[in-house]
Chains A and B, each alone.
Chain A
Amino acid sequence: NAGVTQTPKFQVLKTGQSMTLQCAQDMNHEYMSWYRQDPGMGLRLIHYSVGAGITDQGEVPNGYNVSRSTTEDFPLRLLSAAPSQTSVYFCASSQYVLKTGTPDEKLFFGSGTQLSVL
């Protein structure tokens, strides 16, 4: 199993450009999420999904869109890149326990995408 795969690993954008960060997992996890990590800081939740067709906002959703058309894929779209979106982006997935309404197992992380917006 590949686990959680993120592409690209590095990306440089100009202000105003749009792009999609890809995330795919092969563990049949219902729960997927996107985080951003700024230098010297923890992870902040951008968006998450508890299954195909279901997405919701995290702590810092502005400027980002997501969709979940399949269980495997959870792309993150930057609509109009801004320098404040320069960060490292991590995708993570987990099993989801319906009866507790939470991802009740550990998160598996991708290796990250380092994004610079000039």
Chain B
Amino acid sequence: SQQGEEDPQALSIQEGENATMNCSYKTSINNLQWYRQNSGRGLVHLILIRSNEREKHSGRLRVTLDTSKKSSSLLITASRAADTASYFCATGSYSSASKIIFGSGTRLSIRP
């Protein structure tokens, strides 16, 4: 079974609105990453947050991590049409012995 599960599975919002995606995981981690995948393409790294961090920003992206709840959220502010893509969380942990495990993803659609 996959380590991370994203919620919601699909999200459709109006351009300019904020998009929030959530990721829950099962085992202790030492870092969590978010990736974007445009249709038919490879994955592109967005942001990495370590287990001792609670929040991180990169441009219009804000990631939070709550290790007590084993969850993370990705917020994209002021969405644009180009943000239409699938978003995946991925976790790395000592217990998984160097495995980076991906969640099932959130498909984000931005309506013009």
| Residues on A facing B (Cβ under 8 Å) | 31, 33, 35, 41-45, 48, 50, 56, 58-59, 90, 92, 94, 96, 100-112
Contacts and interface: CB of A to CB of B under 8 A. Distances in A.
Interface string B88-110: 10101110011111111100000
B42 A90 contact: yes
A33 B101 CA distance: 11
Contacts of B57: none
Given A41-B105, A104-B92, A109-B44, 12 more contacts: A42-B88, A44-B2, A44-B102, A48-B99, A59-B2, A90-B43, A101-B97, A102-B30, A103-B98, A107-B45, A107-B100, A109-B43
B97 A56 contact: yes
Interface centre among B44, B102, B105 (most CB of A within 10 A): B102
24 contacts: A31-B98, A35-B102, A41-B104, A42-B4, A42-B103, A42-B105, A44-B102, A45-B99, A48-B100, A94-B100, A101-B94, A101-B97, A102-B30, A102-B98, A103-B98, A104-B31, A106-B48, A107-B33, A107-B45, A107-B90, A108-B45, A109-B44, A110-B42, A111-B41
B95 to A, nearest CB: 10
A43 B43 contact: yes
Interface residues of B, number: 26
B30 A100 contact: yes
Contact of B42 (A59, A94, A100, A112): A112
Contacts of A101: 94, 97-98
Given A102-B92, A104-B31, A48 B98 contact: yes
